[in-house]
Amino acid sequence: MTSRPSRTCLLTGVTGFLGKVVLEELLRRHDELGVDRVLLLIRPRGGLGAAERFQREVAGSKCFARLPEGWARRVSVLEGSLEAPGLGLDGAGEGLARGATHVIHAAASVNFDLPLAEAARANIESSLNLLELARGCPGLERLVCVSTAYVTPHPGHGVPIGETLAPLPAPAAALLAAIREGRADEAELLAASGHPNTYTLTKSIAEHLLAAGRGAVPLSIIRPSIISASHRHPFEGWIDSTAGFGGFVLLLGLGHLRAVVGEPGARLDLVPVDEVATRLLDACRAGPVGRAPFEIRHAVAGSARSAEVDTCWKEIQEFFRVHRVGRPPARRYLGPRGIGFALAHLVHHRLPIAVASLRSRETRRRSRSLRARLEYLNQVFPYFTSRSFEFRCSLPLDHGFEPRAYVRTVCRGVYTHILNRDEREWPLAGRRHPGHGGDLRWALSQPHGNAWIRFSAWTATRVLRRTVDQVTVDLPSFEAARRAVPDGEPLVIVPNHRSYLDFVLCSYLAFARPDLGVPIPHIAAAIEFGRIPLLGRVLTALHAFYLRRGQGREDPELTRRVHALVAQGKTLEFFIEGERSRSREFLAPKRGLLRCLQATGRSFTLLPVALSYDRVPEEAAFARELAGAPKPRMRLGPFFRWIYAAWRGRIDLGRIHIACGTPLRLDAGSDVPAVSHQVIQRLREATVATTYHLEAFLSRHAMNGTDPAALRRAVEEGGGRVLESPLRPPADLDPGIALTLRQQFAHHLETASPEGDGAEPSRARREPEPVG
């Protein structure tokens, strides 16, 4: 698409997975491609016309979320059917279609077990009808049809498969005639051709008939392998289809699929959907001159960039072990069809489904559907999971494509777009956490941590389950921060300080998610903790080291300890505010530890970690302090009383959220005061609000009739996030505590909140004592 100033593209299959991505790329690159208009052929279905289907099934898709507003103005919807003569178009629609300069046929039925006649209508007749329309397009530059790389039956291990028409047992026209007349025996034809199913057979027949009947129509046939989630566009991991590998990932990830017919060493050729879309548009790119009038191109990963079935299963199992959404995924059988598979299928599929079906009529219906899906997958997928295909490809993937990483991308796409989970709210702990399949076993099986850390993780898991609705983590924020860390540079975790729970949660996250690349930290704690009998020793075993507050000068003992930990390559953690903020306002930063780090002569990456609580365990004590009471001494009694109340189910802290701000660098030339204030700013930016914060604040401090919904809109319009929380404000909520909740969202509001909220409570205004 380079020589003409204006082009019109007719696209089929836009309600499907590939079709949406092709449309998105056409619109995103319309200037480059010279495309002014895209015609979409959509058939009516389910009582909905083409225009209604476009609005419901296409226009609202996340696939188009990053396109400029008003993108649909470049689109015209034509109502018709590929299986009808003339595509079922009315006069106006036919007139528009015949103005197409390019036709991209991305529609097909990927149901592998369709009866032969039905598969022929979906995959052969539709292609021939579209070819007939293309012949009548006077300005046509190219017809591009999507086929499949598997039109060539497996020729044997290591035998290359070229970009040529695959052999058929009889002329394609004769085979189509036999199918139309009902003379073709499906089983005999599949056996004679070597095809595993009617999908690949009818696609192969369609290729032959298109090549033979194209006449003067320039034709490109693009053969993708197993299409799955996007690699880059519209964004990494987008997928909305559970056909093919997406369904395989879904059922494995949910813990339903535990026995698979396949060869562990066979390579699955997985190709990202956006790579296929790009090759389709590249086939359109040249005009009638300078390109072969007929060509076949594979859109595949190739064996060198294809992961083994065994590797795929391991990556899927590991991803959903961490991102658990159903039964814990487990591998019970991977091998040939036989007695081993039959037994595994019975024990791990049929019997659990049969037991589940006894619960209710609804579970019986779901169980039947699940059983059918499992049996279908193990009926059609073994052809691909038991063989490696050596496709030759003139348009290979980029050398940077890494198959294991791509399998993880597909897992993430299924998790986000099929299961509708948000990785920015990954569940770490709490009542709504799906569990570990045994807390103690999980704690003992984690790769890092001494005996005290493992015991504490087990204890924390159980306590959090009794006291918190959920602890969620913004995983992408941590992953982005970790990618920004130069290789080998020490990490320093710098959380805000709202509760003693802060000490637990950062270490718990590092213990639970070692894949984030943030080691379990050594935590700077006040010397008062070290003086508490028994607890001081336990905290030391949990990687605590102690500092003296309020000295106003360098502590040589602390300096030696920090330098020793840095020399050992340990990750450090310290609270830059020095003490817990009773008002949730960010306190003036303390710089002693930053200077201590700077004195080592090393460079460090500071990770600002923002912890946002609905309620904190110290709420009652904070209310008294905000009212003017003195700060109580550190004692074990209140701690044990709180643990007892938690164990009895009397504590509900609501929701806790953890996010990582943009990292900062500290080196010998850094301006320490400037860095300290930047850390506070990054923490503020990463802080989130919840619906509890808004409702509880407004329940005690009205804002000129503003309700929680309006306040939420204002916060979100100001760039803030508001997470859902099931916690409702208690009737006895202290007004002073309610006022502090404003700090969770005030920085996103342009105007001050309630009348009288100009001065913070006395303790919040007081400069905290220096640390270190």
Spell out the domains of the chain, with CATH numbers in brackets.
Answer: 7-305 (3.40.50.720), 424-688 (3.40.1130)
Q: Name the CA radius of gyration of the chain, rounded.
A: 31
Look at residue 331 in the predicted model and tell me its pLDDT.
94
Which single residue is written with the structure tokens 């047992």?
169
Taken in order 524, 525, 530, 534, the sign of the CA dihedral is negative
Is 564's pLDDT higher than 60?
Answer: yes
Look at residue 527 in the predicted model and tell me its pLDDT.
79
Question: Which run of H or of E encompasses 574?
Answer: none
Is 752's pLDDT higher than 70?
Answer: no
pLDDT band, residue 760 (cuts 50/70/90): very low
| Non-local CB neighbours of 132 within 8 Å, separated by 6+ positions | 86
Look at residue 757 in the predicted model and tell me its pLDDT.
38
Is 123's pLDDT higher than 60?
Answer: yes
Evaluate whether 653 touches 693 at the Cβ level (below 8 Å): no
pLDDT band, residue 754 (cuts 50/70/90): very low
What's the CA dihedral at 312, 318, 324, 326 to 10 degrees?
Answer: 50
Per-chain mean pLDDT for the chain? 91
Look at residue 113 in the predicted model and tell me its pLDDT.
85
Q: Where are the alpha helices (DSSP H) in 687-756?
A: 691-700, 708-717, 735-740
Q: Rounded distance, CA 577 to CA 769, Å?
A: 10
Residue range 506-538, pLDDT digits in tens = 999 999 999 999 999 999 988 777 777 777 788
Q: Rounded distance, CA 604 to CA 486, Å?
A: 9
169-196 mean pLDDT: 95
282-287 mean pLDDT: 76
Q: Which of 12-21, 54-63, 508-517, 701-710 has the lowest mean pLDDT?
A: 701-710
Look at residue 297 in the predicted model and tell me its pLDDT.
96
Q: Rounded distance, CA 497 to CA 610, Å?
A: 9
Percentage of residues of the chain with pLDDT beyond 70: 95
350-354 mean pLDDT: 93
Residue range 231-242, pLDDT digits in tens = 999 999 999 999
**Which amino acid is present at 365?**
R
| Non-local CB neighbours of 708 within 8 Å, separated by 6+ positions | 691, 694, 695, 698
Residue range 93-118, pLDDT digits in tens = 888 889 999 999 999 777 888 999 99
SS (H, E, C) 446-486: CCCCCHHHHHHHHHHHHHHHHHCCEEEECHHHHHHHHHCCC
Is 28's pLDDT higher than 70?
Answer: yes
Look at residue 756 in the predicted model and tell me its pLDDT.
36
| 423, two tokens | 């990785």
Output phi, psi for 122, to 5 deg: -70, -35
Phi-psi sector, 52: left (phi>0), alpha (psi -120 to 50), beta: alpha
Evaluate whether 259 touches 345 at the Cβ level (below 8 Å): yes
Q: Which of 209-213, 550-554, 674-678 has the lowest mean pLDDT?
A: 550-554
pLDDT band, residue 755 (cuts 50/70/90): very low
Q: Please classify residue 516 by burial: count the beta carbons closer than 10 Å to its beta carbon, then call 0-12 exposed, 13-18 middle and 19+ buried.
A: middle
Among residues 21, 19, 25, which one has the least CA distance to residue 108? 19
Look at residue 60 in the predicted model and tell me its pLDDT.
93
pTM value? 0.87
Q: Rounded distance, CA 672 to CA 678, Å?
A: 10
Is 566's pLDDT higher than 90?
Answer: yes
